[in-house]
């Protein structure tokens, strides 16, 4: 599914070239649950942005489903981001003026899914994260854990095969972290490929495979 070969991403900071990723290699099969762990500044978010087709590498090859990313057009990449990949972020990224159900519905509107089908899929997605009773609430009326559940529902409503989660428990207390991780386990059991980026060892250990990132390079933990 995901195959990164010698991926480098370089940023120019003043007169200095900084390697966010330095010839990184990573292979993830369909149906895996992989955590990528590392401290701030290690290249985690850059890696997620490249896997999620939000950014491109300066060198190396990224094969998605066996096809080099550079072979896709911008329109095709936009469809991949909207249909194949579900994104979950630390800061939830909910639209404050929209209710929970309206936030979840948004990617389906972009896909031009008919209204009746949108309604059904939104209800199912919110039920899957046990938040159907909060469908009419605004983000400001929800706890941090509930907001993250809405974000997960929004990520899964398009029925993606890949879920990318960037520090999804970073703003949550320990009890809520357990609840959110339970949802990720359920999604994995249902067949989703999950790539979870974290700085938390306890969260990382819940994945079936751990990859550590440091100074832009990746190493398997326990390999």
Q: Which domains does the chain have, with CATH numbers?
A: 31-56+71-220 (3.40.50.300)
Q: Has residue 132 got a pLDDT over 90?
A: yes
167 vs 12, 44, 60, CA distance in Å? 26, 10, 26
Q: pTM for this one?
A: 0.91
pLDDT of residue 206: 94
Q: pLDDT at position 223, please?
A: 47
CB 103 within 8 A of CB 154: yes
Among 14-18, 38-42, 123-127, 206-210, which stretch is predicted with the lowest mean pLDDT? 38-42
Under the banding of pLDDT at 50, 70 and 90, the label for residue 222 is low
């Amino acid at each position: 599914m995901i195959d990164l070969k010698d991926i480098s991403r370089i940023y120019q900071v003043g007169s200095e070239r900084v390697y966010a990723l330095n010839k990184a290699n990573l292979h993830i099969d369909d149906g895996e649950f992989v955590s990528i762990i590392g401290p701030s500044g290690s290249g985690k978010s850059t890696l997620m942005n490249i896997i999620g087709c939000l950014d491109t590498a300066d060198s190396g090859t990224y094969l998605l489903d066996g096809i080099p990313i550079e072979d896709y057009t911008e329109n095709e990449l936009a469809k991949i981001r909207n249909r194949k990949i579900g994104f979950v972020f630390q800061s939830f990224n909910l639209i404050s003026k929209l209710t929970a159900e309206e936030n979840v519905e948004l990617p389906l509107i972009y896909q031009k899914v008919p209204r009746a089908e949108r309604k059904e899929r939104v209800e199912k997605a919110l039920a899957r994260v046990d938040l159907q009773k909060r469908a009419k609430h605004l983000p400001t009326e929800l706890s941090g854990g509930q907001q993250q559940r809405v974000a997960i529902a929004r990520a899964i409503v398009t029925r993606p095969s890949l879920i990318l989660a960037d520090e999804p428990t970073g703003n949550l207390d320990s009890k809520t972290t357990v609840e959110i991780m339970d949802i990720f386990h359920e999604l994995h059991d249902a067949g989703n490929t999950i790539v979870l980026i974290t700085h938390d060892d306890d969260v990382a250990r819940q994945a079936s495979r751990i990859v550590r990132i440091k100074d832009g390079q990746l190493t398997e933990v326990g390999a």
